[in-house]
Amino acid sequence: MPDHFKFSTEVRVRLPETDAMGIVFHGAFFTYLEVGRMDYLRNLGLVGSHRQPIKDFANVVARACCDFRSSVGFDDPLVIHVRMAEIKHSSFRFEFVLMHRQEARVVAEGHTVHVAIDAATKRPIAVPAAFRERIRKFEGASLAESS
């Protein structure tokens, strides 16, 4: 597992995620990031509902980036390494490393930035203390924080 990552989950490439050349379409990687993020949150007991995936507060994605390192195709097994890298006042950043399970090669690296919001006003709010503490307890010293 890459340094500083304490959580991983797996997915197998499905046929509809591949393009006419038989490799994973670049847009499918964002689905893999989302699978990793939700499994990470589920592992920490932080999953809510389909309307509010984090149980204690609403959030929106402010940024999503993915760098592609090597190709994968149908039925390839992927390991998605996930970590919460940083929590600021109203935002938090996930980092991801996707690896081919059998070949132990990096397939992609990415990150997403989320902003905690008030569900009614859609305005940013402070990341709730209970969420921050749960992440801090899991990630330890590798978590960067500011308020």
Asked whether residue 53 carries a pLDDT value surpassing 80, the answer given is yes
| CA angle (97 as vertex; 101, 9 as ends), nearest 5 | 55
pLDDT per residue as tens digits for the range 55-80: 999 999 999 999 999 999 999 999 99
Q: Is the pLDDT of residue 86 over 90?
A: yes
Tell me the whole-structure pTM to 2 decimals. Answer: 0.95
How far is 141 from 102, CA to CA, in rounded Å? 30
Q: Is residue 49 predicted with pLDDT exceeding 90?
A: no
Q: Is the pLDDT of residue 101 over 90?
A: yes
Burial 44-78 (b: 16+ CB within 10 A, else e): bebeeeeeebbeebbbeeeeeebebeeebeeebeb
Determine the average pLDDT of the residues in 32-56: 93
Residue 1 has pLDDT above 80, yes or no: no
pLDDT tens per residue across span 114-146: 999 999 999 999 999 999 999 999 999 999 998
Percentage, residues of the chain above pLDDT 70: 100
| Mode of pairing for the β-strands spanning 105-117 and 91-100 | antiparallel
Task: List Cα–Cα distances, 113 to 13, 41, 100, in angstroms.
Answer: 25, 15, 24
Domains of the chain (ranges, CATH numbers): 7-140 (3.10.129.10)
Q: Tokens 């950043």 belong to which residue?
A: 93
Mean pLDDT along residues 75-104 = 98
| Overall average pLDDT of the 84-106 stretch | 98
* Per-residue pLDDT at 147: 78
Predicted pLDDT of residue 70: 97
Are 78 and 2 within 8 A, CB to CB? no
Whether the CB-CB separation of 143 and 44 falls below 8 Å is answered with no
Over residues 31-52, mean pLDDT: 94
How many angstroms separate the Cα of 139 from the Cα of each of 6, 19, 82, 106, 144? 7, 36, 11, 22, 10
Q: Which CB contacts under 8 angstroms, 24+ apart, belong to 50-53?
A: 52/119
Please tell me the distance from the alpha carbon of residue 66 to that of residue 31, in angstroms, as a whole number.
11
